[in-house]
Amino acid sequence: MKIINIGVLGCASIAERSIIPAILNLPHHFKLVAVASRTLEKSDKFSKKFNCESVDSYNKLIQRTDIDALYIPLPTGLHDEWVNKAIKSGKNVYVEKSIALNFSLAKNMVHNSRKYNVALMEGFMFQYHNQHNHLKELLNKGIIGDIRHFSSSFGFPPLEQDNFRYDEKLSGGALMDVCGYPLRATFFVLGDELKVTGASLFRDKNTGSSLYGSAYLSGEDGIGSSISFGFDNYYQCNYILWGSKGKITVERAFTPKPDEIPTFKLETKEGIKIIESEKDNHFEKSLIEFHNIIINKEKREKHYKEILQQSESLQKINDLTR
């Protein structure tokens, strides 16, 4: 197995808390070479903690010839510059969601990835947790009959006022942050045929930043998906499948911790049953997928298409609510 030399471009909390530990837990897949920040103080903190090199410039990290891939946890508004620079330098890129502030920028990233023959992957880690494979096995067995509707919610209480997520130009607000999860879950569970047909979005009157909203996706077979999301909300993190013979709810659908045992709530005419899944680490699993598409070029197209599908759908929600 080829070991990929990887660098981390940005000292975000998710990198420190989850992704870099996952990289270090996969020594047969990756070698962490360096972490870059715009300040030496931040990169030094990471280098000492994770036993790697410290780089005080994003450009310096991108230009290094001893690095094959980059993980980029920067805010969405910074992706256009740094993702494209990384791609054009021949680096494979794993970038945090959402990949771009609009569909046009996402298309350009995918175009460049194809042109420069590199892997590009968007960081929706939850898809790689085994609980979702377990769920699909249950659905294939007809545990709730035929699917009639899908719904999903992801949102949390107010953040600190200076949190970058409230900055529309930097992060894209709630639309580009939390909306991506239930939207991605719709396609992940129901398939690629659904399209955004309706949406509502509340924007702060002073800043213009999106704070919460909802959207509806329709499919040709009559199955729909209703999703809801927001920053200033009561915490929700789930998706629900309503079928002809029952209903199944997946709690903590997007944020299960590696040491947690995920559960499903199954409701049928026989009553309510709690089904346990298995512990899993979706951060490690998503990195294994990234490694896979670096090594196997023919598997990259799936991710290019998912990026375009996701970004085009977010763009549609934005356009419908202007």
Torsion on CA atoms 151, 154, 158, 159, rounded to nearest 10: -160
Contact 289, 278 (CB under 8 A): no
Q: Cα(305)–Cα(210) distance, rounded to whole angstroms? A: 26
Which structure tokens are listed for 81?
Answer: 């510059």
- 97 as an active site residue: the answer is yes
Residue burial 280-297, b: 16+ Cβ < 10 Å; e: rest = bbbbbbbbbbbbebbeee
If we measure between CA atoms, which residue out of 17, 45, 20, 42 comes closest to residue 33?
20
Token pair listed for 99: 């990949």
Q: Which of 97, 265, 269, 279 is catalytic?
A: 97
Torsion of CA 98, 103, 107, 109, to 10 degrees: -30
The full DSSP string for 72-119 is E---GGGHHHHHHHHHHTT-EEEEESP--SSHHHHHHHHHHHHHTT--
Those residues whose C-beta lies under 8 Å from the C-beta of residue 81, and which sit 6 or more positions away, are none
Where do we find the tokens 């920028």? 105
Residue type, 129: H
Q: What is the dihedral of CA 34, 35, 39, 41, to 10 degrees?
A: -80
Could you give the residue numbers annotated as active site? Answer: 97
